[in-house]
Amino acid sequence: MSLDRLTFQGLRNLQPLDIRPCDGVNLIIGDNGSGKTSLLEGIHILGLGRSFRTQQLKHAIKHDEDALVLHGRLEGDPPLPVGIRRERSVSESTIRLAGAPVTRIAQLAETLPLQLINPDTFRLLEGSPAFRREFFDWGVFHVKHEFFDIWRRVRRALKHRNALLRHAKMDRQALAVWDRELAHYGVQLDILRHDYMKSFLPIFEETLDELLPLDGVELTLRYFRGWDHKRSYSEVLHNSHESDRQMGFTQQGPQRADLRIHIDRRPAKEVLSRGQQKLVVSALKLAQGRLLEAVTGRRCIYLIDDLPAELDRHHRHVFCKWLEKMQCQVFITSVEYESLLGLWQKATSITMFHVKHGQLTVQA
Ligand SMILES: Nc1ncnc2c1ncn2[C@@H]1O[C@H](COP(=O)(O)OP(=O)(O)O)[C@@H](O)[C@H]1O
Ligand SMILES: [Mg+2]
């Protein structure tokens, strides 16, 4: 799966562009502030309907312009066009896929599975559990088609239950109804996540083993489902009525699930160097792409902002070798070309773009 054409208008500092990325490695080289990250941001918006830099898409619209218009074409027979338009004066974006309007963002995500590796990716180690839940739920969403519906039902049940808990006079009958609903779908969600992690772990370990052999120490990844492992979820919910009520929300459940990453029982973020952390979080992202392909035959597109940063030459090389092996389309930014030189095999197709003051040119 790859994008063979991109046309962007009105995005950040970028001049209107119309480029033909290759299906292998696309290098985007330019000085600070030239527009490299903006290009990745544009692809991300196409794939997810939202930016990784701002909650409000209107901030990505170029100053002094009224709208941003992004188009991409997924290669295939026939090719699949995807487009998104966001006007400054309208709060919703218009999204089209293969000429038809898109009403569910999930539809976009299904079509264009993206993996982003940028400084925010470190949050997988140092951020709150929400980042790790978003991470594994991405995987569950892509490989288990039931996920989306179950996840929505869990959210709905939680919303209703929490509203009842906050009510001055708690309606016990209604609470029992939402307890049942939440227990039912909460357990289903846990089963999906648990199964996913079981397939994910060996692939992650294999990926990490090449990227960062950890001699003599053990890195463990443990999935925590969000409630006491010795008790059933319905029992937990039933027994926590009073304390949940005092807190005003449901304290245990799949909304608290996490992935615990340790090295010899210490949190990985406390033990690893910055470069090592980058390799661990990259291994997590690469492993997700590998698992997606193994299960569905579909390949992710990788967006990697500043690949060379924090990595020595040897580790850059192993990282690039993994990307080559996976035969995914990748977009890699870097301040200088030299730090990416000689990292690829001859057979790999490479296209290089230079960005200067928002102007993109392709290197012949
Ligand atoms: N909405 C906007 N309109 C115009 N320029 C913007 C907007 N938002 C950010 N910029 C500018 O775009 C430039 C490029 O940013 P960025 O893509 O992050 O550069 P790079 O990744 O190459 O360092 C920055 O100089 C920034 O000030
Ligand atoms: Mg940048």
pLDDT in tens, 251-287: 999 999 999 999 999 999 999 999 999 999 999 999 9
| Cα 34 to middle of ligand 2, angstroms | 8
Which residue, of 282, 298, 314, is where some domain finishes? Answer: 298
Residue nearest (by alpha carbon) to ligand 1 atom 27: 33
Predicted structure pTM score: 0.96
* Nearest ligand (C-alpha, residue 305): 2
265 and 332 assigned to the same domain = no
Instruction: Let me know if residue 132 belongs to a domain.
Output: yes
Please tell me the predicted confidence (pLDDT) of residue 1: 86
Give the residues surrounding ligand 1 with Cβ less than 6 Å away. Answer: 12-13, 30, 32-38, 61-63
Please tell me the predicted confidence (pLDDT) of residue 289: 97
To the nearest whole number, what is the mean pLDDT of the chain? Answer: 96
Please tell me the predicted confidence (pLDDT) of residue 168: 84
CATH number for the domain spanning 20: value is 3.40.50.300
Please tell me the predicted confidence (pLDDT) of residue 184: 98
255 and 133 assigned to the same domain = yes
Range of the domain at 30: 1-113+301-364
CATH number for the domain spanning 246: value is 1.20.1050.90
Which residue, of 278, 298, 318, is where some domain finishes? Answer: 298
Please tell me the predicted confidence (pLDDT) of residue 105: 87
Residues, CB within 5 angstroms of ligand 2 (ion): 36-37
- The mean pLDDT of 196-219, rounded to a whole number, is 93
140 and 228 assigned to the same domain = yes
- The mean pLDDT of 69-97, rounded to a whole number, is 96
277 and 141 assigned to the same domain = yes
Q: Which atom of ligand 1 is nearest to the CA of 61?
A: 1
Instruction: Let me know if residue 257 belongs to a domain.
Output: yes
Please tell me the predicted confidence (pLDDT) of residue 84: 97
Q: Classify each residue of 182-203 as buried b or exposed e, where b means 16 or more C-beta atoms within 10 Å of its C-beta.
A: bbbbbbbbbebbeebbeebbeb
**Mutational test site, ligand 1, from 13, 43, 333, max ligand atoms within 8 Å of CB:** 13
Q: How confident is the model at residue 54 (pLDDT cuts 50, 70, 90)?
A: very high
Q: Tell me the residue type at 122.
A: F
Q: How confident is the model at residue 328 (pLDDT cuts 50, 70, 90)?
A: very high
185 and 247 assigned to the same domain = yes
Please tell me the predicted confidence (pLDDT) of residue 7: 98
* Spatial CA neighbour of 68 closest among 95, 88, 41: 88
